[in-house]
A and B are shown apart, each in its own frame.
Chain A
């Protein structure tokens, strides 16, 4: 000990300094100003966080275009009257969650932004879904001047030069054209630096939306567009043979399969496949893409949406048996605790918990509605359930400690769950 003290003395380290620690600190504090502390918004990272990730953005509809009988393009511009002067920047391929208030109940749905990141507004393309509560409401009620609220942009379906191949094969099925349009515009505007071959699958030529725009874009270096007609499935006559009378020049025919992708893929250069479309298309691609032996890093799917039917999963039956729920699929009771309140809803075995609660008028936080974003992350107090395995975006610990994403989870028994206490829409 003495030795250390000696050595320390040589370097003028002294134990006596210990006595100065407190006076030094007190002096420092005494000399500081007694004004109010700076508010958070005065710090750059906090100001940027607010600008990049607003909880809510107030928009006004400034343009509506009917693209097809059941498809509308809607432009959402910042609502200056509501102190929204600039919309949060987004990357092509990202979504915003759009809020619609129907009979006093607020619903949210994710829509891909379809405009260029440099245009200062968000354009979304809304297709009227056969039983779509929200899409139907938008079609019937939204017009120029309508005010709305949208979330900040989110989602991972965006080109990243550190990760993706420079050449992208975009596979769009039907309304999946929406994010692709944004990607095309971003390339054209010089925002994105990659090339894109778009394979745009529709049933018939009439179903192609924004054709003028796409044809024009196809003239831009680095962008090409291929229309792929699957045929009228109601007539069950896929014109996928050269002899088919429905075959049209300048179009590809059939589904977008491995062969077609290979045909348009660059030969000696890696490429990334970005796919956006309906669930059926993703499931078809799940079978096709392995044939291309692509590394996983070169395959990107947009949000897969809500799973339609649990019985389509081979794992479903096994999960039921394993959990002792083999018998009697039917209607289950979901009890929801939120703070001091308790609600209950009926949930058929083939309906997601989120949907069932919404039918019962209980709106739970949602964003992607595809199991990925975690916005609806919920604790299960009791009960058995099945999560769609192809969109189970939970963490490992969630599975250990019984947390679920209700948007992709089906009940296997009566359940009790706990919801957080609604900070949504606090506007902060």
Chain B
């Protein structure tokens, strides 16, 4: 059905990682096919329309966009790929409300100085600790630079002597590190507010991982795309097409094609098959393993997958209101919780008492028609607790009950009137993630970044990653975890690896061809005219190389 080698690279899944990966590989001149099961590119980076409202589907705010003067990694990446979608910058990081006697209702500002000032206003006694925290972060940044300078092979002694702060934050939980810096409860609680963005409570999340993200926000504020994250997805798709990438939507990959123990192509639902020199998967290793013959998956990989826990999922409530953001009195991001600290048990219930409310119009004023606004309520949930009593028959009623619970709570806590202004409402659950993304257990965040499988552990443990010849992964289930900025960057990392491999093989082929010609010449000059092709030792790689020639 298909040629021996249709593409240099096939990318399965046009999520954030798949899209940036396609751009990066195509701009290196390779032939790329990007496939997605859905009829839109972007994966969760999407939006949807109900009545006169267009909801952002998943993005709260982009980290690492930086400022005009100091653009962050993600901004530089989008610029480099030619994405010029406009952003709004929100310099209030968040309002966070903890209910109850020891609770608080405070707002924290972005920008290093404003951040410290706003924290000191709330917790005057935290000055020393904040100073230490900032020092720790600077030292961490230096440690990362050193790590990069040494190409990921730093001297243990140097690390221990010069960067022990980094080593401590890299090997302890956020809560422990903040405690060690001397933060009192209230300050610690406020500093831990973002935990739900990573899906792991503060007593389990790797401190380095969390603090790196938090400082992205502190330095640059929260960036929100003017036209929803879906616009970035379409822009990335457009740029990929410009670079000669082929995109096939509505094309679910149902099977990986093997050549011995190597992945050499894919089959899509229509029955068509495509072959490539390299395959990149934006889909989670669990689903890849399920699509491969069991005996081809190494035991070590099965153990890895069985050991891992899936990340949290979300209940999302999207509300279109016939009242403006000002009348409603909402700012962009409000975290609401019942207690100062959350741990695993906080989520081990049907309706966890911790959630985020976003009012897009507070930062993108014309996101909906005048006199209207949208609210986006996000609740981190463990599906097994959240969906315990749910059946297909009561699913719809359950969604409404869940929405009602959080709308009531939000009204009571913030003293705003939501219910009477609801013009449109949609509720998504782990089932939605399962439906659109085939996400196992409806995970929104790939694998849980819990301590043993946290960011640092994944980065350091080079041996234990799902490994299959010919296959490279990108996306939120990868080493660097979930989040928009991180997944955009994961695509680039995968692309770099794939391009290196392609280049290496191309060079190898070139050398082989040269030696073959040289040998032929030698054979000829030896007047040996047997007509036998010159040493067929190259075998498989040579066959692949000829495929490449066709493709190129």
Contact = CB atoms under 8 A, between A and B. Distances in A.
A403 B234 contact: yes
Nearest to B42: A397
B461 interface: yes
Nearest to A33: B306
A421 B35 CA distance: 9
A49 interface: yes
Contacts of A420: 39, 248-251
B525 interface: no
A428 interface: yes
B464 A395 contact: no
B338 interface: no
A422 interface: yes
B307 A32 contact: yes
A263 interface: no
A372 B177 CA distance: 50
Given A46-B438, A395-B47, A32 B452 contact: no
Given A394-B49, A397-B234, A422-B250, A5 B392 contact: no
Interface stretch (B73-81, B265-273, B343-351): B265-273
A30 B303 contact: yes
Contacts of A24: 452, 457
Given A1-B139, A396-B228, A423 B268 contact: yes
Interface string A43-74: 11110110111000000000000000000000
Contacts of A162: 400, 403-404, 407, 419, 422, 425
Given A401-B234, A423-B252, A395 B435 contact: no
Contact of A7 (B182, B286, B290, B404): B182
A28 interface: yes
B441 A45 contact: yes
B303 A34 contact: yes
A233 interface: no
A235 interface: no
Contacts, number: 260
B164 A5 contact: yes
B235 A17 contact: no
Interface stretch (B166-174, B328-336, B506-514, B531-539): B166-174
B132 A3 contact: yes
B440 A4 contact: no
Contacts of A44: 383-384, 387, 390, 441
Interface stretch (A8-16, A142-150, A237-245, A250-258): A8-16
Interface in A215-257: none
Given A4-B165, A401-B231, A423-B37, A37 B435 contact: no
Interface in B276-315: 286-287, 289-290, 294, 297, 299-300, 302-307, 313
Contacts of A419: 250
B10 interface: no
Contacts of A297: 322, 421-424
B217 interface: no
A102 to B, nearest CB: 21
Contacts of A131: none
A21 B233 CA distance: 36
A43 B251 contact: no
Given A52-B431, A161-B400, A8 B306 contact: no
A94 B49 CA distance: 17
Contacts of B290: 37, 39-40
Given A4-B136, A156-B50, A397-B234, A296 B434 contact: no
A45 B167 CA distance: 39
Given A7-B180, A339-B272, 11 more contacts: A4-B132, A7-B132, A15-B171, A24-B457, A26-B463, A28-B307, A28-B452, A48-B392, A156-B50, A396-B47, A422-B269
Interface of B: 37, 39-40, 47-52, 54, 132, 135-136, 139, 159-160, 164-165, 167-168, 170-172, 176-177, 179-182, 227-228, 230-231, 233-235, 237-238, 248-252, 254, 268-270, 272, 286-287, 289-290, 294, 297, 299-300, 302-307, 313, 322, 383-384, 387, 390-393, 395-396, 400, 403-404, 407, 419, 421-425, 429-435, 438-442, 452-453, 456-458, 460-461, 463-464
